Structure 1
Amino acid sequence: MADESILTLSNEWAPQAPARSPRRALLGAGFTLLAVVFIGAVAWFGFSFSEAQGIAGQRRESAHRLELFSSTVQAVIKRLEHVPPTVQLNRDVQVLLTQPSNRARMAATNAYLRQLNAYLGSVAVYVMNDRGIVVASSNDVRPDDSRVGEDVSFRPYFLDALSGRVGRHFAIGIGGDEAGYFVSHPIHDGAHVVGVAAIKISLEPINALWETLGAPGLLTDTNQVVILSSNPGWRYTALAELPIERRVDLQLTRMYNNVRLTRFPIAVKLAVDEESQVVETLLPPGGPPSMRGVHAGTLVLGRAIDGMDWRLMMFSDLRPVRDQALVSATAAALGAGVLVLTAVFFVQRRRIMRQRLAAKAMLERANAELEQSVADRTQDLTDANRRLREEVAERAQAEMTLRATQGELVQAAKMAMLGQIATGITHELTQPLGAIRTLSGNAIEFMRRGQLDEVAGNLRIVARLVDQMGSIIQPLKRFARKSKAASEPADVAHAMSNALFLYHPRLRDEGVEIENHCVPGTAIALCEPNRLEQVLTNLIGNAIDAMAGAPVKRVTLRASTEPVPASGARQVRIEVADTGCGFSDEVRAQFFEAFFTTKPSGNGLGLGLTISRDIVREFRGEIVATGAPGAGALFIVTLPAAEPSTAPAPLVHEEEVLT
């Protein structure tokens, strides 16, 4: 003991390398993390503030340009809106409407309209009678665009004017396919409307103004259809899906003639009822040619044109704003970094001064404590031996406690397995009980009708389901006596038919389509038939639950016999595929764990797939699941194949029960 004390003292006063305490290391890591977070926060604030200011400035500038462009569009359109009311002031027009066969009046009216059209610079000016027949036109000398004698009664602007209102509509010409803005006005004879005067205003001056906007833009009409655009590829595309009733109306009025309306190429829903919106992502790089000029991060600004049912929209590129925001964020981060480094310098200088003072005080205490340390060392060794004996006794007691705990864990595991099997039996009895309830209700209705043969058929099915419920309870007894289920040839097609029969009302009510490619006699598995039906019932039920919100609800069932790879044996392959929500790799990894479920609370115990896997493995088979989020799921069950034989036919088909 004396030698050990001397060795301990020598080691205590020997030179040792300074060690960094865990607390100091933790404080240093925390300070570094705090500095990084502070610099990141300052950079993010600088970016956000600069971006917000830049977007606000871009919005103001874009709104100003939209205002100027809108005023220009109004000037182009409205400068000729007063023309149709003045047409009826011409005496020849009034006489022609009352004497449509007077060729002299027709020639005089056409000459007047030609002069008026040439003076105004419009596309055409024409007059229609109260039946919508064009009786005079400024283009009467142009055979391809005369319109004289044509019936335009289906046009909305004619119907508005015939009702006594001023008609204003965009439309594509019937013959020349030239788009224009039509303004119509009723021609009165006293209180009666005897005709309609209309003018077609060219929109080409507006197309020449897109360069002044300084960004891609478009004009939409009341149907949210692009009628004019700086990008020709956007014309006659719809910002929103048109209802079928509206499409029929457009075909009847031939507003867009024979042009086929497609969807607007930007894969983002534009809120055209709002004044503006910021679209963060429109198209990935390398989009279609029709999207040139539109990039990720675009300010979409729109406004209605006063007095018209048109909306002007402008796409302003925000990349310069984002670049400036990045520069501001970098500058803010550099400033924050300088502040952090300054703070680190002063903190480090203060810590060094404290260490120097602490080292001086420690040397003074060391001289005073050296003599006391030698006296205390012997007592420390005695106390250490005593603590060592106490620790040995505590570890012996802990080992005894561990053995007792292990025994309790083994007993708890056994009780958990019994609870799992009992809960699974309760889960599996739910579907046969529901089927018995349905069949009993059908039997009552058949007895009321006097159809005793159908009643007998339903009761036979009830008897079979009761037998099946009895076979479902057998796993608990087999678990108690550690016995295995007996294998026998089972026709997969018959088991599939019985499983589908249990779900027939639900399949019909939820609109689920079944594609059953299982042919009787082609896939004979070596297993217990009732247990095979349990597995298929559970997989089909899970497929139906997974398609609750799917647009297409279809379950595909297949069964085939194939050779086992690298073996001369054969196996039966059963596939159950759905078009539901699918699942991720993380979910698939937990599928076969007990009490794991993706269904809402109260809709399942999470034991169906666990029991199904145990049943399949009991017959030397396997079950796997594949799928992807949003692409549906596929469950594959493989079982040993039996020798082909004639499988028993199902007791009854679905059609017989539901007749």
Structure 2
Amino acid sequence: MMPAQSSAPATPQAQPRRPQHVRTVWGLVLLAGLALPYLAYWWVNLVTTERLRAAGAQRLEVYATSLENLLDKYDLVPRMLELDKDVLGLLEKPGDEDLRNNVNEYLEGLNQKAGSSNIYIVNLQGRTQAASNWRQKDSFVGDDVNFRPYIRNALRGHPGGFYGVGTTSLEPGYFYAHGIYKNGRMLGVAAIKVSIESQQLSWAQGADKVMLVDSNGVIFLTSASAWKFKTLQPLAASVRAELEQTRQYHEQALPPLTLAHDEALANGTRLLAIRDGNAGLAAAPPRMLAQTRSLAPRDWTFIYLSDLNAARANARVAFLFTLLAYGFLVLLFLFWRQRLRAKEDLQHAYDGLERMVDERTASLARMAQDLSKEVDVRRQAEQQLHITQNELFQAGKMAVLGQMSASITHELNQPLTALRTMSDNAVLLFERGRMDDVRSNLKTISQVVARMGTITGKLKSFARKSNAELAAVSIHTSISNALVLVERRLQLDKVSFQLHIDQADIYALCDSNRLEQVLLNLMTNALDSMAGSPVRELRVDVNSTPQRVFIRVADSGPGLSDEARTRLFEPFYTSKPQGEGLGLGLAISEQIIRDFGGSLQAEQASAGACFVIELKAAQET
């Protein structure tokens, strides 16, 4: 009786433990269902913000490098004016009007070639003696520019740059100034004005914003036009007084931006919200991640503002997705429990299906073995055809390079002559103890050598064998590379070149080296056809649709005859005199473009010849 009595009360004590355990498990499941979506929200927001920061930092570096390259390109122009004897003569004899006219015309031509806004010469009293805009009503000639800091610094022997709004033209630009010396004695200052406004056109990145500010916090370049010539914070009275004295931002009020939020983050970035002046106070401005990049020599700062709305939207999507996925997994678990009961029936069906698959696989294996032999034969034929085509393409390149050898030799002889002259000058300057001028000459020699390296590099890149793989290729870059190889001939033949492209850059699916070969062939044919024409003009027009890219190469030559138009892409047919062409250029070019999945055709033109390249559009990668 005692064992029975001791075992009876044990059963009711064990029964309530199972429901309690089940409730605990489902409570943990519910807690995880709430915690995981919030964790996913936090993690996705963190990762997306970091990606925005990395992308913004990369774009900042690209913008800064592009701007520095643009400004450095013009740094040498004022220093070269010291070598012109007429410039030295005008500063020594300011009353000589013939000298002034000669210098004005020289500066006008130099300004057109350099692509700058203006070039002018200033005497020691800060008055302009000659200028490239001497023909215009707002000419700088005779103006007193001694109030500009860059002029005063250059007169003190400290050359440098300065961004400001022109007091005469009211157009903003970047000014360089460098002293003009003769036998160690300063005679005056050479200055150049360069427009950098076009840089901000490429800064727009969707909802992101870019701004460039000076040491006083004044925004003078920005992708948001409403922010231009505003300040990050109110200017002090002393700073405003200095800006009014130098007239750096002529007649600009320079009001401050309204910051609705400003918060410093741990990684050196800031969280900003800038209120738009046109929006009401009730509308909350979007918060943006602000990153900076300093341009130390010029004391400027790039600020990149990344829109965080996308990061937060992704975080909300991750929250909802995690919540739904967790619920789906719970339902999937319940479904799996029911699925186990039907496992045996499915296994039987699977076994029968497996036998059918084995039989079918054996049949397909026999068919595949028969087809494999035929595929190997065709593959060998295609490989041989591909090798023959590549050799033909390479032969076409070498033929073009042979035709261009004279202009390439002349292009390299000029810098070689300049190198010899400047090195001889450096020896004389070294003997006279003018170390600053020696250093300047050596820097110039380095830049000339770099120019020669660019030319030979382009020739080497053009001559190398192409890769058969297709990729996204910049059309602007391909045209620029082809122009390097015909640039000298354009100058020698006095051919006017015009390029029209409907956006900052366009990308096509092709091979860059072979596309440059086609462009160079079309440009060379155009130059050959215009040899006897009174008007010589070469035009390249680029436009695109979301699916296709069109490149038109047109000339002002005699055009195409009816016979030439019908036999245009026929191998070994040429309209050139015997010995000046093999007749393979257009045939090779048409084959290359066809391999890209595009087409090369001659378009009907009112005057001259016009060839159209049609390619598949591609996205930048």
Q: TM-score range by the shorter chain?
A: 0.3 to 0.5
- Tell which structure's C-alpha radius of gyration is larger: 1
